[in-house]
């Protein structure tokens, strides 16, 4: 939608765009500033969670007058799916939409009075986003490059007729499934896939003889890699859902009255799970982004029926090896696991839990931040497409490390070194802020698997 103001025009009429223009007005306190009021458009309504998600935005602003100072105001920030996540968030900006490495951060971004606000004076076109977009054209370009090197399978089609592509690579006996971007607004997940595939397939033209890790891992595993699980939602600029409003990471099993997956509502999961049943799964990784926590971390299938010393040891060993291969990975901060089997049983429709138990295998969810990554801070760019790609490329060492143990039926965990032990994550990270006393901890809303519905129920109960 275009604004009608002569000085500033707002548009999201491009692949993955999401914004609704409301108005422009002179700033009440400074007449030299023009307030640009916008709101995030919501996803299709999600029947299971009973909410219309919204948080991801990406839009174009064209300023015709070089003297115009703009104050952008995201007016409905307080009613988004994760309003608590706006603290410490910085908006991304660029003048080149299609160069993912050109994006930087607006350091004056602030969340005040329930609105996300940032200031910028610019002439011509500038793009703003919650995180740099990964366009469908870029996705198709990635698929084209992959099929020049290996087999690309179409597992099925989305509701709007887009292919659900799976890149198959390797000749090993162990089957590794890695899926990305179940939640379309988590664009860092497909940048991760890009980095992973670029290393595995030498898409950048590097000499593979200099990368013995790739040679070794391809002899150990047959990889099935789905770069984008939710192409319809990606094109629409959704945060969490497909064209029918299905949150794909709640579509991996039937829950009460809610049948899933189905061809009518979630064909993306239906076709992937069907192919998994045909190949089997020895290890599974589901790649996401988290709005609130400023760290990379892994989440496992804790407290589910399959969880025990074996899966706990595999999870610990994989995470420790990953941390050794890339300093942007860490183990201490993340989602606190469920407190009981009964609590975990409510989430057997989540991919990691369902796959881990269906195939008795190591299953993990990997989360990357929308914000800056506090492990290695870079305020100017924050967590970025480049670092997402590098995190994807560096996961191979962890796959190699756990390979001997994936189907080991001995008590191998008794022989693993102490540094490979499982670390139970906590969301206590606020005391790590330099401006906060070490013993002060601000408890986050406890949530499992980014369950926004549970968060909003708790907040509502507090208000009552």
Show the 3-state SS of the chain: CCCCCCCEEEECCCCCCECEEEEEEECCCCCCEEEEEEECCCCCCECCCCECCCCCCEEEEEECCCCCEEEEEECCHHHCCCHHHHCCCCCEEECCCCCHHHCEECCCCEEECCEEEEEECCCEEEEEECCCCCCHHHHHHHHHHHHCCCEEEEEEECCCCCEEEEEEECCCCEEEEEEECCCCCCCHHHHHHHHHHHHHHCCCCCCHHHCHHHHHHHHHEEEEEECCCCHHHHHHCCCCECCCCCEHHHCCCCECCECCCCCCCCHHHHHHHHHHHHHCCCEEEEEEEECCCCCEEEECCCCCCCCCHHHHHHHHHHHHHHHHHCCCECCCECCCCCCCHHHHHCCCCCHHHHHHHHCCCEEEEEEEECCCCCCCCCCCCCCCHHHHHHHHHCCHHHHHHHHHHCCCCCCHHHHCCHHHCCCCCECCCHHHCCCCCCCCCCCCCCCCCCCHHHHHHHHHHHHC
Tell me the CATH number at 102. 2.60.40.3120
Q: What pLDDT is stored for residue 173 in this prediction?
A: 98
334 and 220 part of one domain: yes
pTM: 0.94
Judge whether 151 lies within some domain: yes
Judge whether 71 lies within some domain: yes
The residue from 70, 96, 129 where one domain ends is 129
103 and 247 part of one domain: no
196 and 276 part of one domain: yes
Tell me the CATH number at 259. 3.40.630.10
Judge whether 249 lies within some domain: yes
The residue from 129, 154, 184 where one domain ends is 129
345 and 379 part of one domain: yes
Q: What pLDDT is stored for residue 205 in this prediction?
A: 84
Q: What pLDDT is stored for residue 441 in this prediction?
A: 40
Q: Which domain holds residue 265?
A: 136-429
Q: What pLDDT is stored for residue 14 in this prediction?
A: 97
26 and 145 part of one domain: no
Judge whether 28 lies within some domain: yes
Question: Does residue 419 have an active-site annotation?
Answer: no
283 and 224 part of one domain: yes
206 and 340 part of one domain: yes
Judge whether 452 lies within some domain: no
Q: What pLDDT is stored for residue 432 in this prediction?
A: 62
Burial category of 33 from C-beta neighbours within 10 Å (exposed 0-12, middle 13-18, buried 19 and up): middle
Domain count, the chain: 2
Q: What pLDDT is stored for residue 431 in this prediction?
A: 63
141 and 116 part of one domain: no
53 and 174 part of one domain: no
88 and 167 part of one domain: no
Q: What pLDDT is stored for residue 414 in this prediction?
A: 97
292 and 181 part of one domain: yes
pLDDT 10s per residue in the chain (464 long)? 444 346 899 999 999 999 999 999 999 999 899 999 999 999 999 999 999 999 999 999 999 987 889 999 999 999 999 999 999 999 999 999 999 999 999 999 999 999 999 999 998 999 999 999 999 999 999 999 999 999 999 999 999 999 999 999 999 999 999 999 999 999 999 999 999 999 999 998 876 568 999 999 999 999 999 999 999 999 999 999 999 999 999 999 999 999 999 999 999 999 999 999 999 999 999 999 999 999 999 999 999 999 999 999 999 999 999 999 999 999 999 999 999 999 999 999 999 999 999 999 999 999 999 999 999 999 999 999 999 999 999 999 999 999 999 999 999 999 999 999 999 999 888 766 655 444 444 444 555 666 765 555 545 444 44
The residue from 106, 129, 152 where one domain ends is 129
Catalytic, out of 367, 424, 434, 454: 367
Judge whether 442 lies within some domain: no
67 and 116 part of one domain: yes
Judge whether 448 lies within some domain: no
Q: What pLDDT is stored for residue 135 in this prediction?
A: 98
Judge whether 58 lies within some domain: yes
């Amino acid at each position: 939608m275009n604004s009608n103001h002569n000085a500033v025009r707002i548009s999201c009429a491009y692949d993955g765009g999401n914004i609704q223009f409301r108005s422009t007005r002179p700033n009440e306190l400074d007449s030299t500033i023009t307030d640009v009021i916008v709101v995030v458009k919501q996803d299709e309504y999600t029947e299971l969670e009973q909410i219309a998600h919204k948080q991801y935005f990406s839009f174009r602003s064209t300023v015709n007058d070089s003297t115009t100072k703009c104050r952008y105001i995201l007016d409905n920030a307080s009613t988004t799916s994760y309003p608590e996540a706006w603290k410490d968030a910085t908006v991304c900006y660029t003048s080149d939409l299609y160069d993912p490495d050109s994006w930087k951060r607006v350091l004056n971004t602030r969340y005040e009075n329930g609105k996300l606000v940032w200031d910028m004076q610019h002439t011509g076109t500038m793009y703003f986003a919650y995180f740099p977009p990964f366009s469908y054209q870029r996705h198709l370009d990635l698929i084209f490059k992959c099929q020049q090197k290996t087999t690309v399978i179409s597992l099925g089609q989305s509701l709007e007729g887009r292919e659900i592509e799976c890149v198959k690579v390797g000749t090993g006996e162990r089957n590794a499934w890695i899926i990305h971007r179940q939640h379309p607004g988590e664009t860092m997940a497909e940048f991760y896939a890009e980095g992973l595939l670029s290393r595995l397939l030498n898409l950048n033209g590097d000499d593979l003889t200099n990368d013995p890790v790739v040679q070794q891992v391809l002899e150990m595993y047959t990889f099935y890699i789905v770069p984008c699980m939710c192409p319809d939602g990606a094109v629409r600029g959704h945060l969490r859902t497909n064209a029918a409003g299905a949150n794909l990471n709640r579509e991996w099993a039937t829950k009460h009255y809610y049948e899933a997956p189905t061809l009518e509502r979630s064909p993306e999961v239906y076709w992937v799970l069907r192919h998994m049943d045909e190949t089997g799964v020895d290890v599974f990784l589901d790649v996401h982004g988290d709005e609130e926590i400023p760290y990379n971390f892994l989440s496992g299938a804790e407290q589910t029926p399959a969880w025990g010393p074996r899966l706990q040891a595999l999870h610990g060993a994989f995470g420790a090896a990953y941390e050794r291969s890339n300093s942007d990975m860490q183990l201490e901060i993340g989602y606190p696991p469920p407190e009981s089997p009964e609590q975990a049983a409510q989430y057997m429709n989540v991919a990691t839990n369902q796959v881990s138990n269906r195939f008795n295998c190591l299953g993990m969810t990997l989360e990357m931040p929308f914000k800056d990554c506090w492990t290695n801070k870079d305020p100017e760019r924050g967590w970025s497409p480049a670092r997402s790609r590098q995190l994807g490329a560096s996961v191979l060492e962890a796959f190699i490390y756990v390979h001997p143990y994936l189907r080991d039926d001995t008590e191998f965990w008794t022989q693993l070194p102490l540094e490979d032990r499982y670390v139970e994550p906590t969301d206590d990270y606020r005391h790590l802020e330099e401006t906060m006393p070490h013993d002060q901890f601000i408890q986050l809303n406890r949530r499992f698997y980014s369950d926004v519905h549970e968060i909003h129920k708790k907040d509502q109960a507090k208000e009552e």
